[in-house]
Amino acid sequence: MKPTLLPLLIAPLLVVAAGAEDLPLPEGSLDAAHGIIEQKNGNWHFWGDVHLVYPGVLDLTCDDMQVAQAPDANGKPRPDRIIATTNVVMAIVMPPTTNSVTLAVKPGGLAHATAFQAVFNGTDNTVTLTGSVATGLPKVVTAEGAFSGPLLTFDRARGRFVATNGFHMTFKAEMLKGLSAKTNAPSVK
Q: Indicate which CATH number applies to the domain containing 14.
A: 2.60.450.10
In a domain, 80, yes or no: yes
State residue 1's pLDDT score: 37
Section 100-128 average pLDDT: 77
What percent of the chain clears pLDDT 90, i.e. is strictly above it?
31
State residue 102's pLDDT score: 45
In a domain, 189, yes or no: no
In a domain, 91, yes or no: yes
In a domain, 17, yes or no: yes
State residue 125's pLDDT score: 85
State residue 86's pLDDT score: 95
In a domain, 185, yes or no: no
Q: Which of 157, 17, 180, 155 is nearest to 88 (CA)?
A: 17
pTM: predicted TM-score of the whole model, two decimal places: 0.73
Section 68-78 average pLDDT: 83
Distances (CA, A) of 164 to 52, 81, 138, 168: 28, 21, 12, 11
Section 37-66 average pLDDT: 90
Q: How many domains does the chain have?
A: 1
Residue 34 has pLDDT above 90, yes or no: yes
Domain that holds residue 47: 7-176
